[in-house]
Amino acid sequence: MATFHFELVSPDRVLFNGAAQSVLVPGNEGDFLVLSEHAPVMTSMRPGVIGIDDAEGKHRRVFVRGGFADASEKGLILLAETAIPFEDLSADKLGQEIKNAEEDLADANEDQKRLAQEKLDRLRELKDAIKL
């Protein structure tokens, strides 16, 4: 399968920098799969799970709490607000993400409340889905 350059960056580290066969991105408008020669697109990401199939076909999953995705002829770059590999994900870490989202909701003005509530709902759904 053809590969493309992929980078996943969070504020504290680079989680992936290399060739990938495919990357599943949790976009705000819905999940989308990036393959080699994907059409250019830039979008924001919602809290969710990134699925990465690297050049060797190894599958990895990373939880992200928002950010931006930029697919271009150079490849795909994901700039995540928070990124936690599934092997590092724990009930405590996800609980802290939910607590942060609850605080964001409490501090949100009327215009921001809907988005803050959606973020909190997605985190709770993720917790239920991965059984933590």
Query: Residues 35-69: pLDDT tens digits?
Result: 999 999 999 999 889 999 999 999 999 988 889 99
Per-residue confidence (pLDDT) for residue 87, from 0 to 100? 86
Per-residue confidence (pLDDT) for residue 124, from 0 to 100? 87
Do 44 and 99 sit in the same domain of this protein? no
Do 62 and 77 sit in the same domain of this protein? yes
| Cα–Cα dist 92/65, whole Å | 15
Range of the domain at 60: 4-86
Q: What is the pTM of this model?
A: 0.77
Do 81 and 98 sit in the same domain of this protein? no
Comparing CA positions, the residue from 66, 132, 50, 65 lying closest to residue 95 is 132
Please report, for the domain that includes residue 48, its CATH number: 2.60.15.10
CA distances from 85 to 1, 39, 41 (A): 24, 27, 24
Query: What is the number of domains present in the chain?
Result: 2
CA distances from 48 to 4, 55, 56 (A): 22, 23, 24
Do 102 and 119 sit in the same domain of this protein? yes
Please name the helix (run of DSSP H) or strand (run of DSSP E) that holds residue 106, with its range, or none.
helix 91-107
